[in-house]
A and B are shown apart, each in its own frame.
Chain A
């Protein structure tokens, strides 16, 4: 079962920041927050992940609250190509000796970027 709650849809103007929230109030201490997105009729694409510190990469920033019960994915300058369904997933972290990788997707947030 998905352990996250996301708004079903959000809109954002092109060039503006898109802030996508996610609630994961039952997250365990060894679970990370992962974000993926899925453009229509394609496979999911990894965006970013974090444990408790804020993270940033070339695609996005991830802000995790101090109690780790919620997080926000930030796309700093949204483009039309960012229109997709964004999934927030909690899972045990990237360990090589474990049997990780099973992801349980919730409904995600449909982000629509308009010109």
Chain B
């Protein structure tokens, strides 16, 4: 089956530092990747859409200078939380849209990355 891997799964950082989260499609090529954020006991909120080789499209209210997204290849997208603050602490989840249908699906989620900013 199709696997989307996120790294790191957990990260703790000091306030003011930047943190990079990677999202990789391991056995398929992803034309588009999506980033979500989820606060405790809340639903997933779409942050941005990234297409390989082009700039990301951010949802309304999401600061693009705060959450830098790079989609340099068909298998890797990165989310960098710049100058992180405690309010950025959250569960960040990516999903990848396969270029070619894989099995019975075309959209696959990573296992999430939990960011804690002290």
Contact = CB atoms under 8 A, between A and B. Distances in A.
Interface stretch (B11-19, B38-46, B65-73, B79-87): B38-46
Given A87-B43, A94-B101, A101 B109 contact: no
Contact of A41 (B42, B45, B91, B95): B91
Nearest to B113: A43
Contacts, number: 62
A106 B38 CA distance: 12
Interface SS of chain A: helix, strand, loop or mixed?
A: loop
Given A42-B112, A43-B109, A105 B34 contact: no
B52 to A, nearest CB: 13
A107 interface: yes
Q: Determine the interface band of chain B, counting residues with CB < 8 A from chain A.
A: 20 to 34
Interface in A64-107: 87, 94, 96, 99-107
B114 interface: yes
Contacts of B93: 43-44
A106 B42 CA distance: 9
A34 to B, nearest CB: 9
Contacts of B108: 46
Interface in B45-76: 45-46, 49
Nearest to B51: A99
Given A41-B114, A103-B34, A103-B46, A96 B109 contact: no
6 contacts: A41-B114, A43-B6, A46-B105, A57-B104, A103-B107, A105-B45
